[in-house]
Structure 1
């Protein structure tokens, strides 16, 4: 009887120990639940995966250019035409002067070739040649020659008429007016008249000459 009781006690302890071990191995764990916010942030932080085959739904995808190569252009404050500030200023100044002259009726380009105003016949023994600056009195100078000889070396043209008396020789008497400058409102401008010994105007005209150009008239004595 004593041995039987001892055997029952041993079986009871063995059963209890086995139950405790099973309870430890079969414990239920509660999994962690990821919040939507956390999963969204994690997804945004993940780098995008490059397309390996360069196609989407059978369509070709152009390769992205990771380097932007722009043409290098030198910076200039004064544009393409005038890289030099001095050239820019000079060009603008010349344009302003040209505009002012155009508004005032000045600055037309003078003739760069010699002007011939014709030949005129007369029976007079002499003629008077008068001339004046018909435009702005701007400091125009001329040289007067008769038959290629200098009669007036340097004459200032004014708005008042001035001139000389010329005794005519038989035949041709050539008179040249040579522009020595163009004043400050180019070109060299003047008008002239040739008057016979009876006071009749037998010739007259105007010139607009560049520097070094001459106007010529011939008086023929019959």
Structure 2
């Protein structure tokens, strides 16, 4: 009986302690107030690049990539026209045409025009006090039917002195009266000779018989001219 009472007393004591211990609400320990106030972290502002208007007058810089270019190597970028895309058959065709033309010329079936003079020939300025001049002309080569036309030009007006003048081995005279100032003479080849271009020799004399100039023209094509300028002083 005594033992039962002791057990009951211990049960009530433990039960009472556990209710007192676990019945109250848990309270956290407040932090220690040190008086130091912290600031909230603020993100640092991001620097924005300055906006600069482009200078349209400034030439843009050109940057070249480094290359291993060596002297003698072909230019990788070139505006020079090359024959890379030319048909190889064109060269063979041109050579064949030249051979055919040469063969035709050698056999008298085609006229050789490669030697013809296609530009006017200026014999310069001659100063004289003579009132008139005599131009003596002839064909200095083989007689093959060369024809010329002589024209005097003064003050922008042309006067035909001789037309369809046939050149042979004999001299033919062309008389020319000079006006004050500039006088221009043109000897024009009216055709090609049967053996080649128009050829001729000339001698220019004043009224006293003095030779002022002598020379020749060679293998003129039709329409090509010998030009002279006379200044009457």
TM norm structure 2: 0.51
Specify the alignment match of 2:216 in structure 1. Answer: 206
1:127–1:194 CA contact under 8 A, matched in 2: yes
Specify the alignment match of 2:117 in structure 1. Answer: 111
3-state SS of 1:111 partner: coil
Specify the alignment match of 1:43 in structure 2. Answer: none
Tell me the C-alpha RMSD between the 2 structures. Answer: 2.5
2:120–2:225 CA contact under 8 A, matched in 1: yes
- Residue 179 of structure 1: how far off its partner (Å): 0.5
Q: Which runs of 5+ in 1 are unaligned?
A: 1-79, 102-106
TM norm structure 1: 0.54
Q: Deviation digits for residues 56-77 of structure 1, max 9, x if unmatched?
A: xxxxxxxxxxxxxxxxxxxxxx
How do 1:145-184 and structure 2 match up within 5 A? 145-147=151-153, 148-184=158-194
Match among 200, 219, 222 for residue 230 of structure 2: 219
Distance in 1 (CA, whole Å) between partners of 2:133 and 2:148 is: 20
Paired residue total: 131
Change (3 A) 1:93 1:197: same
1:108–1:186 CA contact under 8 A, matched in 2: no
How do 1:1-222 and structure 2 match up within 5 A? 81=96, 92-97=103-108, 109-147=115-153, 148-208=158-218, 209-222=220-233
Distance in 1 (CA, whole Å) between partners of 2:190 and 2:175 is: 22
The answer to which structure has the higher helix fraction is: 1
Change (3 A) 1:142 1:92: same
- Residue 163 of structure 1: how far off its partner (Å): 1.6
Query: Deviation above 4 Å: which 4+ runs of structure 1?
Result: none
Distance in 2 (CA, whole Å) between partners of 1:92 and 1:108 is: 14
2:161–2:174 CA contact under 8 A, matched in 1: no
- Residue 97 of structure 1: how far off its partner (Å): 4.2
Q: Deviation digits for residues 153-184 of structure 1, max 9, x if unmatched?
A: 21111110002221111111111011011111
Mean alpha-carbon deviation: is it higher for 147-156 or for 112-121? Answer: 147-156
Distance in 2 (CA, whole Å) between partners of 1:91 and 1:113 is: 24
- Residue 194 of structure 1: how far off its partner (Å): 0.9
Q: Deviation digits for residues 121-175 of structure 1, max 9, x if unmatched?
A: 0111111111000000110011111103222121111110002221111111111
Q: Which runs of 5+ in 2 are unaligned?
A: 1-94
